[in-house]
Amino acid sequence: MIRTVNITKIYRGNVVALRDVSIDIIKSEFVFLVGPSGSGKSTMMRLILREDQPTSGEIYVAGKNVAQLASWKVPALRRNIGCVFQDFKLLPNKTVFENVAFALEVIGVSRGVIRRQVPEVLELVGLGDKAPHLPDELSGGEQQRVSIARAFVNRPQILIADEPTGNLDPTTSIEIMKLLDLINRRGTTVLMATHDHAIVDAMRRRVIELDKGIVVRDQERGVYGYGAQV
Under the rule (CB under 8 A), what is the footprint of another protein?
A: 49, 51, 72, 75-79, 83, 89, 91, 102-103, 105-108, 150, 154
Helix (H) or strand (E) holding 155: none
By C-beta, is 120 or 129 nearer to another protein?
Answer: 120
SS3 (DSSP) at 27: coil
Spatial distance between the Cα atoms of 80 and 68, rounded to a whole number of angstroms: 17
CB 90, min distance to another protein, A: 8
CB atoms within 10 A of CB 193: 24
By C-beta, is 157 or 224 nearer to another protein?
Answer: 157
By C-beta, is 89 or 115 nearer to another protein?
Answer: 89
CB 103, min distance to another protein, A: 4
Spatial distance between the Cα atoms of 48 and 136, rounded to a whole number of angstroms: 30
Kindly give the interhelix angle for 111-124 and 140-152, rounded to the nearest 10 degrees: 130
CB 107, min distance to another protein, A: 5
Distance of alpha carbon 208 from the chain centroid = 15
CB 216, min distance to another protein, A: 29
Spatial distance between the Cα atoms of 221 and 203, rounded to a whole number of angstroms: 8
By C-beta, is 152 or 224 nearer to another protein?
Answer: 152
